[in-house]
Amino acid sequence: MSLDASALRADFPIFSSWDGARPLAYLDNAATTHKPVAVLEAERAFYEFSNANVHRSVHTLGERATELYESARERVAGFLGATDPAEVVFVRNATEGLNLVAQAHGRSRLGPGDEVVVSVLNHHSNLVPWQRLVACTGATLRVLPITPGLALDMDAAARTIGPRTRIVALTHKSNVTGTVIDATAIAYLAHRHGAAMVLDAAQSVPHLPVDVGALECDFLAFSAHKMCGPMGIGVLWGRRALLEEMPPYMTGGEMVREVTLEGATWNDVPWKFEAGTPNVAGAVGLARAVDYVASVGLDQVAAHERALSVAARGGLDAFGDVETFCPADGPNGIVSFRLTDIHPHDVATVLDQDGVAVRAGHHCAQPLHAALGVRASVRASFYLYNDHDDVARLFEALHEARRFFRRGHPPRFDRGLGS
């Protein structure tokens, strides 16, 4: 069954409340997605009818809030194919989840001579934490390259992941090229040498079916705001045995079992990693977002996005003066590109005047842009509420941008890289 984007768009207030001169063609979904009424109402209902701190109170509101919070954890676990809700740790976003793994898991495992394997595809949030960690432990960072077809180089992975590898930290789906890696095959290579597999799934969980059991990863992180959920809430999933071994990442209230003036003992997982008052409303909103996306069907979402991005790439390639950056097996909901003689920021600003929202910059993936031979790109990224009219609007606005700058108008906009 095909996805009806126009019907889904009615669930998102932004499209009816947009006050621009032209209707909104929102193509910046890899950065963040819009929120349906169901998610907005779930958050509001929590604050109106169930607002209390969790785990600390025996009064009715406290128990109600705790039930909502923990049921959200169960819902997320089921969505990821996890059998144990205690393996779901609520964090602020994927970035915090990845930093948690680097510090709480990686620091105790790494020393001189050990290796962490990353990829040129990685977002900065799954690269910089490992750079800092190897710098202070004496370990070595090894980087997997990409093929000319923009796939992860599996031959290089087989050569690089070896007896000294302790952690393999990769992006599941690139936020620039849309490349989806064979995570299960990489996990096999990692586990053969006793290494842990860490996945940044910020771009995959919202867009295609993800099952942590099938992926055979050890840790996986994603952000709610990239899948119709609230900002400020994310998930780190980790194998319980590894979470049990790890020390806390932050200390304070809730994550302790007993505190004296001489010391403290830690709470059970997952609460050991959830210091302080959590974002309960965010967790409630995330659970509702999970229900919403699941009701649409991630297989349908993936197919819909692929069709739109294939159409976008085909039209962009027809321009002649546009270079696209997509994997050889076709785009997966993301099309990054550049016009040969117009800076990406200038392109994006002119597009915005026509109501077309795209991203311009290095997208927090500077090493990948260096591998592509450019400093920045324009990115159009699709989601379940986009349709072929949005693709047509993109082409129309790009024609206008070309006409504007080639009539002799100087670029008017800041040329910094941005993120």
- Give the span between the Cα atoms of 405 and 150, in whole angstroms: 31
- Give the span between the Cα atoms of 416 and 362, in whole angstroms: 10
Tokens of 230: 């609230």
- Residue 115 pairs in a beta bridge with 140, 165
Q: Which of 217, 228, 326, 364 is catalytic?
A: 364
Residue found by looking up tokens 């229900």 in the block? 291
**Residue 142: what residue type?**
R
Q: Could you tell me which of 97, 49, 20, 13 has the C-alpha nearest to residue 354? A: 20
| 123 alpha-carbon distance from chain centroid | 9
Sign of CA dihedral 181, 185, 188, 189: negative
By DSSP bridging, strand 196-200 and strand 219-223 are parallel
Tokens of 302: 């993936």
> For the residues of 342-388, what is the DSSP string, one character each?
B-HHHHHHHHHHTTEE-EEE-TT-HHHHHHHT-S-EEEEE--TT--H
Annotation marks residue 326 as catalytic: no
SS3 325: strand
Residue ranges of the alpha helices (H) in 193-255?
A: 212-215, 240-245
- Give the span between the Cα atoms of 213 and 88, in whole angstroms: 14
- Main-chain dihedrals φ then ψ at residue 172, nearest 5 degrees: -75, -40
Q: Could you tell me which of 287, 196, 281, 207 has the C-alpha nearest to residue 243? A: 196
- Residue 380 pairs in a beta bridge with 335
- Residue 191 pairs in a beta bridge with none
Interior CA angle at 339 toward 333 and 342, to 5°? 130
Residue ranges of the alpha helices (H) in 119-193?
A: 128-137, 154-160, 183-192
First to last CA, the chain: 37
Query: What are the residue numbers of the active site?
Result: 364
